[in-house]
Amino acid sequence: MSSQSTINFYVISDSVGGTASQLGQAAMTQFPDADIKVSAYPFIRGTDTLISILEKAVSDDAIVLHTLVNEELNKTAHLFCKEHGLVCFDPLSPIISELEKRSELAPIQKPGALHLLDETYFNRIKAIEFAVKFDDGRDPKGFLEADIVLLGISRTSKTPLSMFLANQNYKVANLPLVPEAHIPEQIFQVDSKKIVGLTSDRKALNSIRRERMLTYGMNPDTEYSKLDRIDRELAYAKKLYDKLNCLVINVSNKSIEETAAIIVNTLQIEHKQYEQQ
């Protein structure tokens, strides 16, 4: 067994991610003794979500393998990885580029065009579409239809976690918490067992928010990243979580996969207890 530390491997796609996963697995089978941790991020639709994942990849010193066919997402990934010295492999672009050159036709840029559409795939797509539609509290009606409702202040991984859970066929809606904003009345109508309150450590949030501002080319020392502002937001969130009596998870030292596992396991336990009553 190798004595080397864990190698983080990020698989990113604007579809299911099957192509990238198979390529990655083909390479990893050549290193059966290596300690490799794979993190999958399928169905990426926006640049903000993509950047937040790539920021985490930087902190994990990860190898990134992506099959982003959307031109804007592909360019964003390429530029970010180049600027941050992130090892990144994009196996589709060279092939697509050569085919475009020889055929004199433009690619359709349609994610997942290769997949055979079965019932499981359609259900996953529906869950992903639900997560996109009800991301960031865009429509409060989604809270009443969701399997899971995520609450959290800024930079507590609400959107990436929503997408990860949606890939497991859970309908997820999330709401950003801001002390100055009104909490939709639908939140108080949701079964508290379906609600998850996300929190983090103040210093971790300060670091993440400062880095976020730098990514946008802005001054990192803004009201958004100040510790007293973060403390106020955390206190506001805790008060709401106590009122809702919901599951609370500190995400500061957890991966998306770890947080998702806690949520899913809790839901399954609650479901079993309900069936036994």
Q: Look at residues 234, 266, 256 and name the one whose alpha carbon lies nearest to residue 147.
A: 266
In the chain, % of residues over pLDDT 90: 60
Residue 75 has a pLDDT of: 93
The amino acid present at 21, given as its one-letter code, is S
Give the tokens for residue 206. Answer: 């300060």
Give me the mean pLDDT over the 166-173 stretch.
94
For the ranges 14-28, 35-49, 106-120, 260-274, the lowest mean pLDDT is seen at: 106-120
Say how far apart CA 172 and CA 146 lie, in whole Å.
Answer: 5
So where are the chain's domains? Answer: 7-103, 119-276
Q: Would you list which residues are annotated within the binding site for ADP? A: 152-159
- Side by side, the strands of the sheet bearing 247-250 are 172-176, 148-152, 195-199, 247-250
- Three-state DSSP state, 8: strand
If you classify domain 119-276 with CATH, what class do you get?
A: alpha beta
pLDDT tens digits for range 86-139: 999 988 888 878 888 888 888 766 665 555 445 677 788 899 999 999 999 999
Contact 149, 179 (CB under 8 A): no
- DSSP single-letter state for residue 136: G
Architecture of domain 7-103: 3-Layer(aba) Sandwich (3.40)
The model's pTM is 0.61
b/e per residue 55-86 (b: at least 16 CB within 10 A)? bbbeebebbbbbbbbbeebbebbeebbeeeeb
Q: Would you list which residues are annotated within the binding site? A: 152-159
Say yes or no: do domains 7-103 and 119-276 share a fold. yes
